[in-house]
C-alpha cells in the first residue's frame, strides 16, 4: 500500500518539476526522494516519471495517479480537521542510539509540546533489534538502519565515513586501532568487514555497547571508527582511500510502524521524526 509520505513526495516532485527542487522543498536529500519514488513505483508496479533534459515528466500511469494522490491527501487533511481533538494515549518508539542529543531533544520535546496528552515511551538502542520488537508488539514505531532496507518508509540515505581525531597520526603499515560496537549488529560489521576485505590489518582499541562511548573514543583520539558523515564533530577528520581506508556502504534509515498500533499516534510520531531529522 502506498503511504501518505510517498504520495506527498510524488506530488512535490510533480509540482517542483524535478527531484532537486522537490528535495529542497521537503528538506530531504535527492537520493532519499529518488528512492521514495522508486519504492512507490515498485508498490504500484508502474513507472511514474520519465527523465527529460531539464527535469522529469509524468508517464501515462503517473498522470492517472496524480488526481487520486491529491484526493487522498486532501481527505486525510479533512479527517484531521474534522476530528481536531487532542491526541491521547501511549506510544512506544525505538530511536537509534547513534542519533545525537539535538535530534532527540528536537523530536521528543516538540512532539510533547504538540501532543501533551500522549505518553511517550522511548527506547534508544541497536536498530537491528527494532523490527523484531515491532513484530512482537513491544514497539509501535521505530527508526531502523541498514545497508538496504526493504521495508518501511525511507527517512534518509546517509554516507558512512572513517572518522578519527584530527590530531591522530596513523602509520601507513601499522594496524588500525579500531573502535567498534560490542554487539551483534550492522554497525559492528561495517568497519571490520571493510578492513578485512581490503586486507588492512587492525586491532581492537576500544569496544562498547554504547554508540556514544564509541564516538567519545574517536573524539579522544584513542581509535578510528565508522560514523554517519552528518554526525562528524569539528574535532574529527575523515580518513580517505588515499590513506588506505576503503569506501564504505551508505546506510539507509527507514521508519517502521506496527500495524496494530493506533494509526493516529504512529502517523503523528512519524511526522515528528521526519521534521526532527530533516
pTM equals: 0.65
What per-residue confidence (pLDDT) applies to 81? 57
Helix or strand holding residue 268 (H, E): helix 263-277
The torsion of the CA quartet 217, 223, 224, 228, rounded to 10 degrees, works out to -10
Q: Compute the distance between CA of residue 277 and CA of residue 102 in angstroms, rounded to an integer.
A: 10
CB atoms within 10 A of CB 129: 18
The torsion of the CA quartet 12, 15, 19, 20, rounded to 10 degrees, works out to -100
What per-residue confidence (pLDDT) applies to 78? 67
Going from the C-alpha of 96 to that of each of 1, 99, 128, 146, 255, the distances in angstroms are 26, 6, 9, 11, 11
Please give the sequence-ordered ranges of beta strands (E in DSSP) within 47-88, or none if there are none: 49-52, 55-58
What per-residue confidence (pLDDT) applies to 85? 63
CA-based torsion, 165, 127, 213, 278: positive or negative: positive
Q: Compute the distance between CA of residue 257 and CA of residue 275 in angstroms, rounded to an integer.
A: 17
Angle between helices 4-16 and 19-26 (to 10 degrees): 120
What structural domains and CATH numbers belong to the chain? 4-82 (1.10.10.10), 89-151+262-277 (3.40.190.10), 160-249 (3.40.190.10)
What per-residue confidence (pLDDT) applies to 132? 92
Mean pLDDT, the chain cut into blocks of 10 residues (278 residues total):
80 87 81 88 91 86 89 74 72 86 82 89 87 94 81 83 95 92 81 93 93 93 92 93 92 89 90 82
Amino acid at each position: 500500500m502506498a503511504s501518505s509520505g510517498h504520495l506527498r513526495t510524488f506530488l512535490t516532485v510533480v509540482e517542483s518539476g524535478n527531484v532537486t527542487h522537490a528535495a529542497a522543498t521537503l528538506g530531504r536529500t535527492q537520493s532519499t526522494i529518488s528512492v521514495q519514488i522508486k519504492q512507490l513505483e515498485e508498490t504500484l508496479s508502474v513507472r511514474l516519471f520519465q527523465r527529460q533534459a531539464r527535469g522529469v515528466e509524468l508517464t501515462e500511469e503517473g498522470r492517472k495517479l496524480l488526481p487520486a494522490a491529491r484526493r487522498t491527501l486532501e481527505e486525510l487533511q479533512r479527517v484531521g480537521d474534522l476530528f481536531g481533538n487532542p491526541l491521547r494515549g501511549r506510544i512506544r518508539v525505538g530511536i537509534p542510539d547513534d542519533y545525537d542529543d539535538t535530534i532527540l531533544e528536537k523530536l521528543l520535546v516538540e512532539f510533547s509540546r504538540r501532543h501533551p496528552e500522549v505518553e511517550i515511551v522511548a527506547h534508544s538502542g541497536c536498530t537491528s533489534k527494532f523490527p523484531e520488537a515491532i513484530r512482537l508488539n513491544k514497539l509501535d514505531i521505530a527508526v531502523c538502519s541498514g545497508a538496504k532496507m526493504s521495508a518501511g518508509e525511507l527517512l534518509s540515505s546517509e554516507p558512512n565515513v572513517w572518522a578519527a581525531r584530527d590530531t591522530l597520526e596513523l602509520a601507513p603499515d601499522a594496524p588500525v586501532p579500531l573502535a567498534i560496537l560490542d554487539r551483534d549488529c550492522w554497525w559492528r560489521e561495517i568497519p571490520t568487514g571493510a578492513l578485512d576485505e581490503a586486507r588492512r590489518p587492525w586491532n581492537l582499541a576500544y569496544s562498547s555497547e554504547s554508540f556514544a562511548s564509541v564516538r567519545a573514543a574517536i573524539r579522544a583520539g584513542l581509535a578510528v571508527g565508522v560514523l554517519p558523515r552528518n554526525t562528524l564533530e569539528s574535532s574529527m577528520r575523515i580518513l580517505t582511500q588515499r590513506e588506505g581506508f576503503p569506501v564504505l556502504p551508505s546506510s539507509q534509515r527507514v521508519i517502521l510502524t506496527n500495524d496494530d498500533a493506533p494509526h493516529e499516534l504512529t502517523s503523528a510520531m512519524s511526522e515528528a521524526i521526519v521534521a526532527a531529522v530533516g
